[in-house]
């Protein structure tokens, strides 16, 4: 299967249905590529070859018996903060080293029911804290397309696995851009669904009001196939919306019209095209906007007046929630435990040795903004600004159907650069955090590459539950 690196999820499913190859053959071919690239790319924390082949054999048996399921026999990769029963789940942190998930996260259970095969666990920034995958407790991931550069983060392992042809598709999580930013850097499609549309049950929590699970794929159609499986109401998640699963893939049942974006208005947020935007990123984004106009869309400049407050608001809200969520990792119930003379000593030693520098930095910041005397000055005020940011997006969607903007201010940079500059890393999220703060949907699709060959994505943003229009526009704009 020489074409395995270019194969899409939709193409694999077609091949499986046509019996051109079996799930075992497909899975074995991908495992060979994964193992061969692991030393250089390090996209995976764990590769479950034995388990994947057993699941593939079962999928072949079911298909031979006449059974059918949406993803039957299709291998996928899972970010290492998602529970898959019987597999390690470390969130790429040494403090969870050795922990094995006793149950499936809801998204894993839905994929399993749909017949998917789990290849392994993809690398990530520790507890999803970062934009480079360099904060992983198990070493960084390298960009498979722009070699020597970061893949983005925190879902960098998933992006590298898909972008490098090591997996047909993967799931990631997006707290402040952690699906869209690495998707942009690795030249793939990444979707941040409406908050609450995909269950968070069984996901290692980073910031509970911001986290969302989404697909990372080679094509928009593949993303639609995954969204239709993983979305929908989950009674195990109190924030889950009472909505049925999406039906996005049915858009591909009909060919594209000559003017597929006719009647659609795309807003260009002027604050996202300001100073600090790399010239090549700007040019590729503007080219995507012109392409949308040629496909029938109307372009309109819009304003998100409070966009400049996005980064400080995000890093207060996120770290506050993080400090509460990570309090559970104390060496008593999960993962690593460092013995000490008393319980307090055990807490201190386990967390000191098990947590990386970035996790400690954000825990301290989050604890500070929640502390007595500072709560109103920081956290309470940030929540008020978050409301203003959400209202900005709602007003923009009142004037247009979707927004079109860059994903990141610059292409992927070399590994090691900015590693000791947290503020510089935080600013790389400046164009993505708004969608998380507002809870709306967004996705990144490839927009081309720089002169140096580094991939660049363009971002489409839609109102809450606006996935149908979002995927319609993404399908039309997709570079194939």
Q: Using CA atoms, how far apart are residues 277 and 275, in angstroms rounded to an integer?
A: 6
Q: Are 111 and 82 in contact (CB under 8 A)?
A: no
Structure tokens at 338: 């460092």
Active-site pick, 22, 178, 184, 199: 178
Residue 81 Cα distances to 86, 124, 202, 228, 293, angstroms: 14, 8, 9, 21, 39
Q: Using CA atoms, how far apart are residues 452 and 309, in angstroms rounded to an integer?
A: 32
Count the Cβ atoms, other than its own, within 10 Å of residue 276.
Answer: 8
Active site annotation includes 79 = yes
Active-site pick, 22, 23, 37, 79: 79
Q: What angle do CA 280, 283, 287 make, to 5 degrees?
A: 140
Q: In the Cβ-directed half-sphere of 427, how many Cα atoms lie within 13 Å? A: 12
Active-site pick, 101, 154, 323, 464: 154
What are the DSSP E strand ranges found in 323-438? 402-406
Q: Are 198 and 75 in contact (CB under 8 A)?
A: no
List of residues 6+ apart from 83 with CB closer than 8 A: 89, 101, 103, 104, 105, 108, 202, 203, 204
Active site annotation includes 178 = yes
Residue 417 Cα distances to 127, 167, 421, 425, angstroms: 21, 28, 9, 10
Residue 213 Cα distances to 60, 92, 297, 478, angstroms: 28, 17, 29, 22
Residue 92 Cα distances to 45, 135, 246, 362, angstroms: 7, 9, 31, 16
Q: Is 233 exposed, middle or buried (0-12, 13-18, 19+ CB in 10 A)?
A: middle
Q: Using CA atoms, how far apart are residues 280 and 411, in angstroms rounded to an integer?
A: 9
Positions annotated as catalytic residues are 79, 154, 178
């Amino acid at each position: 299967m020489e074409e395995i690196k270019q194969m899409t999820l939709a193409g694999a499913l077609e091949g499986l249905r046509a019996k051109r190859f079996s799930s075992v053959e497909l899975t074995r071919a991908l495992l060979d590529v994964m193992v061969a690239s692991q030393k250089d790319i390090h996209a995976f924390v764990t590769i479950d070859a034995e388990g994947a082949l057993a699941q593939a054999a079962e999928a072949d048996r079911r298909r031979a018996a006449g059974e059918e399921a949406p993803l039957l026999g299709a291998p996928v990769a899972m970010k290492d903060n998602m529970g898959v029963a019987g597999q390690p789940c470390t969130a790429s942190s040494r403090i969870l080293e050795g922990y094995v998930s006793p149950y499936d996260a809801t998204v894993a259970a839905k994929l399993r029911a749909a017949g998917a095969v789990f290849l392994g666990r993809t690398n990530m920034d520790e507890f999803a804290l970062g934009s480079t995958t360099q904060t992983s407790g198990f070493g960084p991931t390298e960009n498979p397309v722009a070699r020597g550069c970061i893949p983005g983060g925190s879902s960098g392992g998933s992006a590298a696995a898909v972008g490098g042809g090591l997996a047909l598709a993967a799931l990631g999580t997006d707290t402040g851009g952690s699906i869209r930013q690495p998707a942009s850097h690795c030249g793939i499609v990444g979707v941040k669904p409406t908050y609450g549309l995909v269950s968070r049950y069984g996901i290692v929590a980073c910031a509970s009001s911001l986290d969302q699970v989404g697909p990372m794929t080679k094509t928009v159609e593949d993303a639609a196939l995954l969204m239709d499986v993983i979305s929908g109401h989950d009674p195990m998640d109190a924030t889950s919306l009472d909505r049925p699963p999406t039906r996005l893939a049915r858009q591909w049942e009909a060919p594209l019209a000559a003017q597929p974006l006719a009647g659609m208005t795309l807003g260009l947020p002027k604050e996202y095209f300001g100073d600090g935007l790399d010239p090549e990123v700007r040019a590729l984004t503007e080219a995507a906007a012109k392409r949308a106009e040629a496909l029938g869309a109307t372009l309109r400049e819009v304003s998100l007046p409070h966009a400049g407050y996005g980064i400080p608001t995000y890093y207060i809200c996120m770290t506050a929630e993080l400090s509460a969520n990570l309090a559970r990792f104390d060496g008593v119930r999960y993962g690593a435990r460092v013995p000490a003379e008393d319980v307090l000593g055990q807490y201190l030693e386990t967390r000191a040795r098990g947590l990386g520098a970035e996790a400690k930095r954000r825990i301290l910041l989050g604890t500070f903004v929640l502390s007595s005397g500072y709560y109103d000055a920081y956290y309470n005020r940030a929540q008020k600004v978050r409301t203003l940011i959400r209202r900005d997006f709602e007003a923009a969607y009142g004037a247009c159907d979707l927004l079109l903007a860059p994903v990141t201010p610059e292409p992927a940079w070399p590994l090691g650069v900015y590693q000791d500059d947290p503020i510089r890393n935080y600013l790389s999220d400046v164009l993505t955090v708004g969608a998380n703060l507002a809870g709306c949907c967004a996705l990144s699709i490839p927009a081309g590459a720089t002169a140096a060959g580094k991939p660049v994505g363009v971002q489409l943003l839609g109102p809450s539950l606006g996935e149908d229009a979002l995927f319609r526009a993404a399908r039309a704009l997709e570079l194939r």
